[in-house]
Amino acid sequence: MEKVHYLKRFMFLVMAFGLVTTFTSCDDDDEPNPNSPALTDVVGKYTGTMETIVVAPATEEGEETPGGTTVTAEVTKDEVVFEKFPVAELITSIVGEEAASGIIEAVGDVSYKMKYTPTFNDDKTAINMALTTEPLVLEINFPTEETAEGEGEEEAPDLKVEVTVAASEAATFAYTGDKLAFKLQVTAVKVNGEPFELPVTTFSFDLAKTK
């Protein structure tokens, strides 16, 4: 009789342990996994290079700028932001090398922003970012002699350049190395409202997340 009593106690303890384990497992399933990929993983600050590839109308191969240009960017929850977009090569293509240096200095820092919509790839090893681009506008005032104080009114810029930018492919953020890569293509240029013929120009960005 005593053996039956101990057997019942043992079975009761086993059942109780099983219930505790079940409830604990359910609680663990409800808790978020901190290591699970999230679309916000792309948010952060980046640095890297921008290669400029210019394709002349008579050729199929592009000429790449040696070494590229160092760039920094920030990705927020819905935008890719350049506080200093590298426009030197673009300005040089439009006005020529001789006049470019003074104009680049006059233009100063140019900010540029793009909206994006993120989605995971199939195995969640990367985030694809569909970019929504806007025209890049440069307003250039050539240096002139200072006028007397209070004379004249604010004038229109001597040169207004409107660059149509397109992103034919989505940007890609790869978890391996925290790399962000994308390409922007200049599809049209207007100078003071008039179309300006410019070779097909592609900006290729290769960035790494710094924080």
User: Domain residue spans in the chain?
Assistant: 1-31, 39-142+157-209
CB within 8 A of 106, min separation 6: which ones? Answer: 140, 141, 142, 143
Beta bridge partners of 200: 55
User: Mean pLDDT of all residues in the chain?
Assistant: 80
Output the pLDDT for position 157.
Answer: 65
Rounded-to-integer distance, Cα 54 and Cα 27, Å:
58
Output the pLDDT for position 22.
Answer: 47
pLDDT at 154 over 80: no
Question: Vertex 36, ends 29 and 71: CA angle to 5°?
Answer: 165
pLDDT at 69 over 70: yes
pLDDT at 147 over 70: no
pTM score of the predicted model: 0.72
Output the pLDDT for position 61.
Answer: 58
Beta bridge partners of 195: 190
Structure tokens of 131?
A: 């970019």
Q: In angstroms, what CA-CA distances link 182 with 49, 80, 83, 168, 189?
A: 11, 11, 17, 10, 21
Output the pLDDT for position 159.
Answer: 81
pLDDT one-digit tens code per residue, 92-112: 877 778 878 888 888 888 999
